[in-house]
Amino acid sequence: MVYRIKRDELNIFLEGFARKNQLVAPLKGKLAKFELVKEEQVKDIYLEKNTYFPAKEFFFKKNETVFTFKDNKIQEPKLETPKRIFFGLRRCDLNAVKHQDKVFMEQIKDPYYMAARENSYLLGFHCWEAPSKYCFCGTLNLADYYDLMFYDKKDYFLVEVGSDKGKELIKEFKTLFEDIDITITKEEKKIKGADRLLKDDIKGLYDHPDWQKGVNQCLSCAACTNLCPTCYCFELHDETKTSNIQEGKRVRNWSSCQVLDFSRVAGEHVFRQKREERFKHRIYHQLEYFKERYGVNMCVGCGRCIQGCPTRIDFVQIINEMK
C-alpha cells in the first residue's frame, strides 16, 4: 500500500504525534544524532545526511540499571515505554534494528530491549543516493523493515506501508494521507553509489597479509563499535556504596571486542591478545560469523565505523584490494 502526503503536511503529521507522544528524529548540533523532538522542533528535523550517531541507544541503552539491591532485597525497574515514533531512519538503521531484534527478541528475549521496542513505530526515510562516501549498504542485500517508509519527491512524499502498525498511523492521521494506486519497485529502491564493497564472501581471506594495512593504523579505541548501529556486546557490573556495601545496583554497559580486557578471563588469560586478532574479529563478526548463524550480515553498510575512526581505517577498501 502506498500513500502520498504533501511536503507541508508532513510537519503537521509529526507535530500531531509529538503533541501526545514521543517523537525521535535527527537533529543537528555539532553532530547530527537522534533526539527527542518537541512539537516546536519538528521544523528543525535534519534529513540532509545520515546521523553521525545511530538510534541504537534508545533500545539497547549505553548504561542501564538491571536492578537495585538493598540488604537481601532486589528491586527491578519498571519497564514502561511511551508510544514513540522514530522518524528519519535510513534503510541501514532500519536493518540494524532488525538485526538487534534477532539477538535481543528472538534469541534471548531481553526484557529491557523488548520493553523499549514494544511501543515504537519505525518510520524510514529513503536515500536516493549514498549520503556518505563511506556507505556500502547496497552490497548487503538489506531488507524492507519498517512501519512506514517515506520517499522524498520534492513537492510531496510517497509513503509505503510496511506493517499493521504503519496502517494504524495512516488511519489515525487519514486526512493527511492520500491513497494512490502505484507500486514502488525494487529497482526504484536501489541507492545510487552504495555498492562500494566488491567482495561479499571473505571466508578465505582471514590470513591475507593486507589486513595489516588496517591493523597498523588501529588504536583499539573502540570508536567503531560505539558508533556501530548493530554491535551488541555488553558487560555487567555491580556498583555498591562504600558507606553500605549491602546497597547498590547491577548495571549493564556497552562493551567492545576491540578492547584488550574484553576477552580477559580468570587467570589473566586474554583470548584475543593481539590487536590483529581483535581487528579481524569485529569485521568477521559483521560480515561472516553473524551471517552463519542468522542468515544475514550483521553489518548494514552505514559506514559510521569508517567515518568515525580517528585514523580513518577503510576496511571496505582493504577488502576490495585483496588479491
- DSSP-derived secondary structure for 300-323: ----HHHHT-TT---HHHHHHT--
Provide the domain limits for residue 240. 203-320
Question: At residue 243, does pLDDT exceed 90?
Answer: no
> Are residues 170 and 284 both part of a single domain?
no
Tens digits of residue pLDDT in 251-284: 999 999 999 999 999 898 989 999 999 999 999 9
Closest CA to 65 of 296, 236, 297: 236
- Whether 82 and 219 map to the same domain: the answer is no
Domain assignment of residue 188, yes or no? no
Distance between CA atoms of residues 247 and 196, nearest Å: 52
* Domain contains 186: no
pLDDT tens-digit map of 133-168: 999 999 999 999 999 999 999 999 999 999 999 999
pLDDT for position 197: 96
Distance CA 84, CA 97 (A): 15
Same domain, 134 and 282: no
Whether the CA torsion 282, 55, 53, 141 is positive or negative: it is positive
Query: Last residue of some domain: 120, 147, 180?
Result: 180
Look over the chain and give the mean of its residue pLDDT values, rounded to a whole number.
95
**Is 85 contained in some domain?**
yes
Q: Are residues 265 and 231 in the same domain?
A: yes
Has residue 169 been placed in a domain? yes
DSSP notation for 12-49: HHHHHHHHHSEEEEEEESSSEEEEE--GGGGGG---SS
Query: Cell numbers 556495601 label which residue?
Result: 245
What number is the average pLDDT over the span 124-131? 96
End-to-end CA distance of the chain: 45
Q: In sequence order, what E strands does 77-223 have?
A: 84-89, 120-125, 148-152, 156-161, 178-180
Domain contains 192: no
Given a cut of 90, is residue 41 above it in pLDDT? yes
Q: What pLDDT is attached to residue 104?
A: 97
Residues 76 and 176 in one domain: yes
- CB neighbourhood size of 272 (10 A): 18
Q: How far is CA 85 from CA 88, 164, 263, in A?
A: 10, 14, 37
- pLDDT of residue 235 exceeding 90, the answer is yes
The pLDDT score that the predictor gives to residue 288 is: 96
pLDDT in tens, 203-220: 999 999 999 999 999 999
Share of the chain above pLDDT 70, in %: 100
| 94 and 32 share one domain | yes
Residue 191 within any structural domain of the chain: no
80 falls in which pLDDT band (50, 70, 90)? confident
pLDDT at 173 over 90: yes
Task: Tell me how many domains the chain contains.
Answer: 2
Round to whole Å and give the CA distance between 270 and 53. Answer: 30
**Residue 187 forms part of a structural domain:** no
Are 207 and 174 found together in one domain? Answer: no
